[in-house]
C-alpha cells in the first residue's frame, strides 16, 4: 500500500472510532466536539492552516486551508460532515473492522471515508505547492438541520465545490430538494354515541390522502433526465384523543421531493390547489396547511470545469471517465450551490447509510483521494 493509501485508511479508522452521533437525533449523543478537535489537530500536525468555528452552539465546524492562495489562483471548496446518525442495532459501531475490501463501522460510508479522503487530499495538494487554494469545510449537523454549513455559508467563496458524500465514484451533478408540510383538518368533538353532533376530522382527512395519491400519479408523468419524477408521500398522521370520542383534529405531515426548477412557493400552491379540490367535493371540510421545513434541489451543468476535471482524474486513476448521475438523497451541496458556486458530489462506494450494517469500500476510499488530488491539479492549470 502506498503512503497515501495507508494514511487515508488509517485516518478513516481513527474517525470511525470517534463517537460523533448528532445530538439533535438523540438526547444523550456525543455530538461533534471530539471529532472536530481531532480533525483540527490532524491538520495542524500536517502543517495545514486550520480553524475551529463555533458560533456558540457547541456544534463546531473545522475549516482547513491548503495550497496557494492569492493572485489568479482558483479556489476549490471541499465539504464533508462530521456527524453521524445513531448506532441502531449495530455491533461494535465504533470499532472499525476491515474484511476484504470493506471497512465496517458507523459513519464509515456516510461519510467519514469522504472526509478522510478530502483531508489527505488537502495535505498532498499543500505538499505539492499547487497554484490553487483548497478549502475544506468539515461541518456539523448535516444529518439533521445543516446548522454547520449554514453557519459557514456567509464566508464561503469558491470557483467550484466538491462535496465528498458517497456516490459510488460517480459525479453527482443533481439531487432533489424537499418540502415538509403539515395539513391540519379540523372537525367537531362529540361523544361516540352521538355522531350526528360531531365532525370526524380523521375521516375527513381521507379525501386528502386520496388527493395525494392522485398527485403522485400526476407527478410521475413529469420526469427529470437524471432524477426521475418529483414525489409526495404521507409521512405522519396524528389525531383523536380516545376511542369513544369523535376526533376534532387530525394532522397529516407530508414530504414533497422537489426537482430542479421547483420552489417552495410552487409546492405551497400545489398543496393549496389540492385542498381546494377537497373542499369543493365536501363543503364541510375545514383544512389548512403550514410549511415546516424546506431545502432546495441542486443541479450543475455537466460541462462545468469541475465536472470535466473530476472525470479526467477518474480516468487517470481508474482507466475510464467517471459517470455523471443524479443523487437520490439531499445534501449540504444545495446550500453551496445556492451561492452560485458550481457544485458536485463525489465519494466512495459502499452500503448501509443509516442502517444496522454500514461499510465503505477501502479501494474506493483510496482512489477517491487520488482523484481529488488530480482534479485539483487539473483545476490549478485552468
- Read off the pLDDT of each residue in 287-297 and give the average, rounded to a whole number: 97
pLDDT of residue 1: 61
Asked if the model's pLDDT at residue 381 lies above 90, the reply is no
- Read off the pLDDT of each residue in 344-370 and give the average, rounded to a whole number: 98
Asked if the model's pLDDT at residue 128 lies above 80, the reply is yes
pLDDT in tens, 17-59: 999 999 999 889 999 999 999 999 999 999 999 999 998 888 9
Task: Please give the domain boundaries of the chain with CATH numbers for all domains.
Answer: 3-175+297-381 (3.40.630.10), 177-295 (3.30.70.360)
**182-to-90, 124, 143, 288 alpha-carbon distances in Å:** 33, 48, 21, 8
- Read off the pLDDT of each residue in 63-91 and give the average, rounded to a whole number: 94
| Nine-digit cell string for 215 | 398527485
pLDDT in tens, 245-267: 999 999 999 999 999 999 999 99
- Read off the pLDDT of each residue in 150-159 and give the average, rounded to a whole number: 96
Asked if the model's pLDDT at residue 76 lies above 90, the reply is yes
pLDDT in tens, 322-336: 999 999 999 999 999
Question: Residue 313 and residue 317: Cα distance in Å, rounded?
Answer: 6
pLDDT of residue 2: 74
Q: Report residue 69's pLDDT band, with 50, 70 and 90 as the boundaries.
A: confident
Mean pLDDT of the chain: 96
- Read off the pLDDT of each residue in 216-235 and give the average, rounded to a whole number: 97
Instruction: Give the side-chain half-sphere CA count within 13 A for 36.
Output: 24
pLDDT of residue 22: 98
pLDDT of residue 302: 95
pLDDT of residue 82: 98
Please state the pTM of the whole predicted model.
Answer: 0.94
pLDDT in tens, 271-283: 999 999 999 988 8
Asked if the model's pLDDT at residue 175 lies above 70, the reply is yes
Question: Residue 276 and residue 281: Cα distance in Å, rounded?
Answer: 9
- Read off the pLDDT of each residue in 336-348 and give the average, rounded to a whole number: 98
Q: Report residue 382's pLDDT band, with 50, 70 and 90 as the boundaries.
A: confident
Amino acid at each position: 500500500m502506498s503512503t497515501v493509501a495507508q494514511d487515508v485508511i488509517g485516518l478513516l479508522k481513527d474517525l470511525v472510532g470517534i463517537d460523533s452521533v448528532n445530538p439533535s437525533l438523540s438526547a444523550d449523543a456525543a455530538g461533534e466536539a471530539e471529532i472536530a478537535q481531532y480533525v483540527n489537530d490532524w491538520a495542524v500536525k500536517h502543517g495545514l492552516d486550520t480553524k475551529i468555528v463555533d458560533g456558540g452552539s457547541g456544534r463546531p465546524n473545522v475549516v482547513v486551508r491548503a495550497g496557494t492562495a492569492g493572485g489568479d489562483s482558483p479556489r476549490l471548496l471541499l465539504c464533508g460532515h462530521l456527524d453521524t446518525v445513531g448506532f441502531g442495532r449495530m455491533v461494535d459501531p465504533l470499532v472499525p473492522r476491515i474484511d476484504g475490501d470493506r471497512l465496517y463501522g458507523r459513519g464509515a460510508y456516510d461519510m467519514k471515508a469522504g472526509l478522510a479522503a478530502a483531508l489527505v487530499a488537502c495535505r498532498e495538494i499543500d505538499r505539492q505547492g499547487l497554484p490553487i487554494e483548497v478549502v475544506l469545510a468539515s461541518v456539523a449537523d448535516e444529518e439533521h438541520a445543516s446548522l454547520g454549513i449554514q453557519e459557514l455559508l456567509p464566508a464561503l467563496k469558491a470557483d467550484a465545490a466538491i462535496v465528498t458524500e458517497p456516490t459510488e465514484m460517480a459525479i453527482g451533478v443533481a439531487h432533489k430538494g424537499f418540502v415538509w408540510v403539515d395539513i391540519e383538518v379540523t372537525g367537531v368533538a362529540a361523544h361516540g354515541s352521538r355522531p350526528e353532533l360531531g365532525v370526524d376530522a380523521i375521516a375527513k382527512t381521507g379525501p386528502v390522502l386520496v388527493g395525494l395519491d392522485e398527485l403522485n400519479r400526476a407527478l410521475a408523468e413529469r420526469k427529470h433526465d437524471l432524477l426521475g419524477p418529483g414525489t409526495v408521500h404521507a409521512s405522519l398522521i396524528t389525531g383523536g384523543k380516545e376511542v369513544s370520542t369523535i376526533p376534532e383534529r387530525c394532522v397529516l405531515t407530508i414530504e414533497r421531493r422537489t426537482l430542479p426548477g421547483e420552489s417552495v412557493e410552487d409546492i405551497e400552491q400545489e398543496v393549496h390547489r389540492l385542498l381546494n379540490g377537497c373542499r369543493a367535493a365536501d363543503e364541510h371540510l375545514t383544512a389548512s396547511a403550514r410549511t415546516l421545513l424546506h431545502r432546495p434541489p441542486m443541479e450543475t451543468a455537466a460541462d462545468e470545469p469541475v465536472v470535466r476535471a473530476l472525470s479526467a482524474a477518474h480516468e487517470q486513476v481508474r482507466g475510464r471517465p467517471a459517470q455523471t448521475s443524479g443523487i437520490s438523497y439531499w445534501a449540504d451541496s444545495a446550500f453551496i450551490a445556492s451561492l452560485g458556486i458550481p457544485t458536485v458530489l463525489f465519494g466512495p462506494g459502499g452500503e448501509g447509510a443509516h442502517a444496522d450494517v454500514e461499510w465503505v469500500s477501502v479501494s474506493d476510499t483510496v482512489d477517491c483521494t487520488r482523484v481529488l488530488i488530480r482534479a485539483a491539479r487539473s483545476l490549478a492549470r485552468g
